[in-house]
Amino acid sequence: MFDLNPHHLPYATPLHVLMLLGTALFAYGVGQAVFRQRQQQLAQKLQQQLAKRQEPLVAPLLQNEQNGSNDLEEILGITTAVKHLLQQNGIHTFSQLGQVSTWTIQLLLTENGPVNYLYDPATWPAQARLAAANRWQDLRTFQEQLRRGALTDLIM
C-alpha cells in the first residue's frame, strides 16, 4: 500500500485539502471560461442565421391569393398582435391560414417571444378553412363550441 503521509508531517491533511480545493477552483474557472466561450459562439451563430433569414417562414408554402374579406381576427384566439405577426410572415388570407399546419403556426409564435407561448393555434387552420369557404354559420357554431369547452372533432 502507499502512504498518504510518507514524511509523517503533522499538517499533511490540511495540505491535501488545500490541494483538492485549489484543483476544484481551477477546474471551476476553466469550466466557466469554456462555457462562456461556447455561449458566445452559439449567440454569434444564431445572429448569423437570423440575419440570413430574410423572407417570411411560411411564404414559400402559400399560394399568392388575397381576395375577399380576410380579417384574421375573425378566427377565435387570434388577436391584433398575432394577426400582424402572421401577416409579417406571409399569411394574409383565410385560405392561406387554412393551408398552414398548426405546428408551423406554433413555431412562428414561439420564435417571436415568450408572450406568444400562451396562444394555442390548434383550431386556427380549421376555422380559417370554414371562413375561406364562406361557411360563416358553421364557423360561428364551431367557435361557440370552443368557447363552451365542448371541443368536438375539428370541422375540416
Domain that holds residue 48: 7-54
User: What are the cell numbers at 140?
Assistant: 360561428
Model pTM greater than 0.75?
Answer: no
What is the distance between the alpha carbons of residues 28 and 107, in angstroms, rounded to a whole number? 37
SS3 30: helix
Boundary of a domain, candidates 54, 69, 88: 54
pLDDT tens readout for residues 72-123: 999 999 999 999 999 988 899 999 999 999 999 998 888 888 887 788 899 9
pLDDT digits (tens, 9 = 90+) for 28-58: 999 999 999 999 998 888 778 777 765 555 5
User: Letter for the amino acid at 111?
Assistant: E
Q: Assess whether 19 and 76 both reside in one domain.
A: no
* Cell numbers representing residue 20 in the block: 483538492
pLDDT at 60 over 60: no
- Based on the domain organization, do 64 and 136 belong to the same domain? yes
| Total domains, the chain | 2
| Rounded Cα–Cα distance for residues 105 and 94 (Å) | 13
Judge whether 1 lies within some domain: no
